[in-house]
Amino acid sequence: MTTTLDHVLRVQNVTKRFELDSGSVVALDNISLDVQPGEFVSIVGASGCGKSTLLRLIMGLESCTAGNIELGEINISKPSVDRGMVFQESRLLPWKTVTENIAFGIPKSHHKKEHNAIVQQHVELVGLQGFEQALPHQLSGGMQQRVSIARALVGRPDVLLLDEPFGALDALTRIQMQQEVLRIWQRERKTMILVTHDIDEAIYLGDRVIVMSERPGTIRNVIQITLARPRDRSSSEFMSYRREIFQEFFGEQKKTFVFEI
């Protein structure tokens, strides 16, 4: 396990085209991206620019039309437990309790004896003590998403992919969850890639913010965030990062509009 920690995630000249009856859609066009072990990368971009597609390719749920993706020496072609993923919907199994759902994330190779201890550890990691035996429909949206994160982490993946994990939560819960993810990331030192619509969220969490452009999806800009954590959302540096990213989206002419958002 320790050796894999040094593994860099390499996305090399990846193009993804979907063939439809009505023709083909180029979702991603020649994307290249290196993510260092333990790095937190945020990806923002307009709806439909291929963010989910990129994560699904890294996960191995889809295959690249051109180019390739490597984690360490290994070429990614199918899902594997060295990568975990969290979606916008928690996707918990409704017939399993919190602990059973988390335990579902443990790979088969683990010893049965250790299961309970590992699961309990992750229940605590996401702060769900007291809800171990609850069923998903008895939890709030935020709590469900915590379970989903715990399930993705319990298999000890090197890379955690988060596809708009807080998109369906209210603003306050979202901020709380961002702090939670930050804490988990600082503790576990996993590589994390977060797709989000929320520019504040991207800046608050990311070492880098990747801005994507749409149709076809390409990387428009990469912004290094050098603020120390935890970051103050109302600081002037934070604001200036925010302004910079807004400008990437709307261009210079809409600067005045940006301040109001």
Partner 1 sequence: MVTNKTLKIVDRFLLPVVIPAVLLMLWEFLALKGVLRSTILPAPSIIGATLYDMVVTGELWGHLRTSLWRVIQGFTLGSSFGLIAGLLISMSLRLERSLLLVTGILRPIPIIAWVPVLILWMGIDEASKVTVISIGTFWPVLLNVIQGIRSTDRKHLEVARILGKSRSTILFHVVLPSALPSIFTGLRVGIGIAWMSVIGAELIAASQGLGFLIAYARELSQADVMLVGVACIGVTGLLIDILLRCIEKRLLRWNVNLSGNV
- Quick check: 47 binds ligand ATP (CB under 6 A)? yes
Q: What are phi and psi of 157, to 5 degrees?
A: -75, 155
Segment contacting ligand ATP by CB under 6 A, of 1-9, 40-48, 68-76, 250-258: 40-48
- Quick check: 57 binds ligand ATP (CB under 6 A)? no
Of residues 9, 27, 64, 245, which one binds ligand ATP by CB under 6 A?
27
Output the smallest distance, CB 150 to partner 1, in A: 13
Segment contacting Mg ion by CB under 5 A, of 52-60, 170-178, 219-227, 246-254: 52-60
- Quick check: 18 binds ligand ATP (CB under 6 A)? yes
24 CB-near residues (< 8 Å, 6+ apart):
17, 18
Distance CA 254, CA 2 (A): 48
Note the residues at the interface with partner 1 (CB under 8 A): 59, 61, 79-81, 83-85, 87, 89, 91, 93-96, 104-105, 107-108, 135-137, 151, 155
* DSSP secondary structure, 70-112, as one string: EETTEEP-S--TTEEEE-SS----TTS-HHHHHHTTS-TTS-H
Q: Which one, 24 or 179, has the nearer CB to ligand ATP?
A: 24
R_g of the chain computed on alpha carbons: 19
Distance of CA 170 to the CA centre of its chain: 18
19's tokens: 């063939």
Q: Judging by DSSP bridges, how do beta strands 66-71 and 9-20 pair with one another?
A: antiparallel
Q: Which one, 59 or 211, has the nearer CB to partner 1?
A: 59
Interacting residue ranges for ligand ATP, rule: CB under 6 A: 18, 20, 25, 27, 45, 47-53
Interacting residue ranges for Mg ion, rule: CB under 5 A: 52
